[in-house]
Amino acid sequence: MIRTRFAPSPTGSLHVGGARTALYCLLFARRNDGRFVLRIEDTDQARSTEASRAGILRDLRWLGLLWDEGPEVGGPAEPYLQSECIDLYNQHVDALLASDQAYLAWESREELTAMRDVAVAAKENFRFKRPAYTDEQLAAYKAEGRVPVVRFQAPSHEITVNDQILGAVSQTADELEDIVIRKADGFPTYHFAVVVDDQRMGITHVLRGQEHLMNTHKHLGLMAALGWKAPAFGHMPIIFSMDGSKMSKRDKAKTARAAARAWLTAQGGPKDDMSALAATCGVDAALLGAFMAKKSDDVDIAEALAAMLHVDLPMIEVMDFRKRGYLPEALINFLGLLGWSPGDDRELMTVEEMSACFSLDRVGRTPAKFDVAKLTWMNAEYIRHAAPDRLLRALAEWLEVSDSPLRDTTEAQRSALIGMYQARIDTLADLDRLATFFVQRPTSYDPKAVTKHLLKGGGLEHLAGIAAVLAELDAWDAASVDAAVAAYAERTECGLGKVAQPLRIALSGAAVTPGIGETVAFFTQQEAVARLRACLAAVAQ
């Protein structure tokens, strides 16, 4: 049976590149009646967090990428967290030590740095090879209290990856190095744990990004030394931004720094004085200084700067797209076509439709560019064609991660908003720009609209007149409001626009809203009339 796996490290949020990897693993498994396994690679004890692990599971579920085996689901290959398999890894490390295919390495961090510096000075690549320690050296290391790592002795022959996407890719023996397989803290490295886990879980196909390609030669060497059959490998194209750079979480820090530098320049003070900026955005000045000096790419600092400076950071992680109001089905559809083609002109496809025709021979080799404009178009198409109840659920999901004032709306009000704006928005976040006035009274009115529609053509008089009509209206719904407005326009012979536009301005602060009846009827009768009177009072001053 085909068995694929997605194996993220819980050291941060889920990158869209990781989401695409998970999607392709799921599609390949579904296409071949196989199993899609989720494994959490948490052997990096310094950086792995429970919050990150929970966030990855949350994002995968939001995208609809549900795993057949893994955390919170279980399965025959438990455990699915690497941190629960330390004894097993040690057994295999000890087996390699016993067969002399691995050895204890005693070099300090400073010594390794010096060795790399020598290689750089000689314009050579640094590749660690097994030293010949003397008894005196070993005794001295032990006396110092050094704790050795375990290194795997690389094979003395060429290793070739017969990649399912890229074809044959080889490394000569000189290009291989003796990698660390167990760290000084007793935990296995990524390279070793991943090999053991793929074997014990029966993974048949490893699909991952091309950035891992050179690691695969190391993994094949380890598998051969342990006497295991290697799975098939397929390395997918890297995702680039439209400018040709690799999409990276560092892009957020880069954007935030540029905005911060512009702010500091505008203030006219010393550019290295972070105190005012730190106080304004609520960040420790020392941490901000390190961030601005590129010694840190702290996402929290980047987001704090962006919020204070009103800057949109690049969308890199799945949660970024969720917060910006994209639908999961649109994002998944877009990611599916980001490096793979079904072989025809289809663009809007469900996961089921993609899995029915997914094959590795249609996965590209060259980098794929993440076109946000194309994603936004696709998202708008999904919104246009979604059933109202689907959009109602999506809106609720978006409001869970948004600070939009629309969070205070009822389900009935949200249904009304969907009815008014489904054909007008590209993302759910567009509702913040277009519909916030429904829950927040305007504090000002568009000057041009006021001049055109209130101060000219008797606008104020008509606003006062329709306010009186609406205050006495018995039935309060869109049809009744539309009828009342039409009757007023006919009675005063002013034309419908002379009534509707002043109404829009009074209710929203601007001259553009959905249909006048549904706009007015969204509010309670008391609130609608109060807004009209507030506008009359403000403009008459």
Where exactly are the structural domains of the chain? 85-236, 250-312, 447-540
Phi, psi for residue 467 in degrees, rounded to 5: -60, -40
Beta-carbon contacts of 269 under 8 Å, excluding residues fewer than 6 positions away, are 276
CB atoms within 10 A of CB 89: 22
User: Residue 521, exposed/middle/buried by CB under 10 A (0-12, 13-18, 19+)?
Assistant: buried
Percent helix, strand and coil across the chain, each to the nearest 5? 55, 10, 35
pLDDT score of 316: 93
Residues of the chain with pLDDT under 50: none
The confidence score (pLDDT) of residue 122 equals 87
CATH number, span 85-236: 3.40.50.620
pTM of the predicted model as reported, rounded to 2 decimal places: 0.92
Quickly tell me which residue has 């609720």 as its tokens.
396
* Predicted pLDDT of residue 271: 66
Q: Write the single-letter amino acid at 447.
A: P
How many CB atoms lie under 10 A from the CB of residue 426?
A: 17
Residue 405 main-chain phi, psi, to 5 deg? -65, -15
Is the Cβ–Cβ distance between 223 and 229 less than 8 Å? yes
Structure tokens at 387: 């059933």
**pLDDT for position 123:** 87
Count of Cβ atoms closer than 10 Å to residue 269 Cβ: 12
Q: How far apart are CA 177 and CA 308, in angstroms?
A: 47
- CA-to-CA distance for 303 and 322, rounded, in angstroms? 16
Q: What is the pLDDT of residue 269?
A: 66
For residues 412 and 513, give the distance between their C-alpha atoms in angstroms, rounded to a whole number. Answer: 19
CATH architecture designation of domain 447-540? Orthogonal Bundle (1.10)
Q: Which H or E run contains 535? A: helix 525-540
Residue type, 350: T
Q: Both tokens of residue 422?
A: 């489904």
